[in-house]
Amino acid sequence: MLLLLVSTAASATFSGGVTIVPASTKAAIGRSSSVTIRWSATTNDGPFVQSTTGTFRIPNGSTLGIVSRTLTTSAVSVPVTVTLNEQLLIPSNVIFAAFKAGVSRIEYVRDFEDGDGPFAAVQGVFLIDLTSPSAAAFGIGRLALSFEDGAIEKIAEEEQFLRAKADISHTGSGVIRGVWEAADPTSTAGTPIYRPLTQVREFLSAGGDKTLFSPRLPTSSTGLHLVRFRLTDPALFDTDPVIRYFVQPRPAPLEPIGLVMPPHLSLLGNDTRFTWQPIAGVRAYQLELFEQGLPIELPADTAPVDEPRAIDPRPGSSISPTTGLLVPGDQSAVPLTTLARTHLMSGRTYLWRVLAIGSEGTVIGESPLRAIRVP
């Protein structure tokens, strides 16, 4: 379907008016929508054809919004017919403003000029009919990228499992086509070079949102990575949204520390000494005791105590010890001090373990967890 509109002030430098394909679209009330428009005009003079802004308005002329995006192309050899493509996003607030004004149609207007004076212009009017979400023409209103937890930036370790997601709002029903792409550290310091991860072809039913998940993202090379979901049909943005993640080297595995005394589920006495097998390269040991009610996982070779739930109690986690001691690296046995005991409650069961701290202040060793009872 074609629409040909000519401004009453059109100059002879243009032959005819502006041809618009398609002539119109439908937009659902309460949702953003998008459409690809092809504007065509024939100029006799040149040297270019351009339109600097687009205007949403209702038929009585009241302005609903402005699109500050310039469409331009050269027209050196004249007469010539030029075509300018625009990916137009129709914001939900513009649609709602028209609905509140009691109209069922929005006009999107662009003036085109060719540099041959202030009156050398023609105007094109694209029509947007308001409708219910189920009756709206198929279009993408919003595409938002994030990782599975909602973050738009991420730090990952080598070989860590990582996925991104694309949240899509749309009107009508139809098929989208796109491709998940990623750029690795070999190009992200300059102009990114994106490589395809997988092609996507998905049917979206009328009304509602859709979430698409990427395949596993590359995490084998350390450094900055970029990922995007590029819609190929229908196209949505001049620039596709991009999220980033940084891959850091996987830390060296912690050296195991063997626990000696006290045995699992022992009673804590005044003469109880916590003893472990020393390892090399240690600057200090840290003895830690946790409330047994905290969700900490016991090692497989010990009996469960009231079935504690599983978490990751490694350094940097959100679980903090109830009490503990810092022990010089040349010692491998220590009793609890009076101050440390004040944090323990009678009749409770606690889990304890030992961490080894290296010369650079990082944890280099870790023991399993054992339970101890406070009388």
Residue 45: per-residue pLDDT? 72
How far, CA to CA in Å, does 147 sit from each of 94, 144, 237, 311? 30, 10, 20, 22
Residues 273 and 240 in one domain: no
pTM: 0.48
Reduce the DSSP state of residue 32 to 3 states and report it.
coil
Residue 10: per-residue pLDDT? 42
Residues 238 and 261 in one domain: no
Single residue among 133, 161, 179 that ends a domain in this structure:
133
Residues 323 and 213 in one domain: no
Residues 16 and 34 in one domain: yes
Single residue among 69, 102, 133 that ends a domain in this structure:
133
Tokens of 275: 């003893």
Residue 362: per-residue pLDDT? 86
The whole-angstrom separation of Cα 241 and Cα 230 is: 8
C-alpha R_g of the chain: 33
Cβ-contact 26, 136 below 8 angstroms: yes
Residue 293: per-residue pLDDT? 59
Q: Residues 332, 336, 340, 343: is their CA dihedral positive or negative?
A: positive
Cβ-contact 32, 56 below 8 angstroms: no
**Amino acid (1-letter code) at residue 201:** R
The whole-angstrom separation of Cα 373 and Cα 341 is: 12
Residues 26 and 129 in one domain: yes
Q: How many domains does the chain have?
A: 3
Residues 314 and 341 in one domain: yes
What are the per-10-residue average pLDDT scores of the chain (375 residues)? 43 71 86 86 80 91 91 77 88 89 92 70 89 70 88 91 91 84 94 95 79 94 94 72 92 88 91 93 93 54 38 51 91 92 89 91 89 89
- Backbone φ and ψ for 96, nearest 5 degrees, come out as -65, -35
Residues 21 and 126 in one domain: yes
Domain that holds residue 331: 255-373
Residues 14 and 126 in one domain: yes
The whole-angstrom separation of Cα 280 and Cα 362 is: 14
Residue 218: per-residue pLDDT? 95
Residue 304: per-residue pLDDT? 41
Single residue among 219, 248, 277 that ends a domain in this structure:
248
Residue 116: per-residue pLDDT? 64
Residue 320: per-residue pLDDT? 80
Whichever domain contains 338, its CATH number is 2.60.40.10
The whole-angstrom separation of Cα 238 and Cα 36 is: 11
Residue 309: per-residue pLDDT? 34
Residues 106 and 200 in one domain: no
Residue 236: per-residue pLDDT? 62
Cβ-contact 285, 276 below 8 angstroms: yes
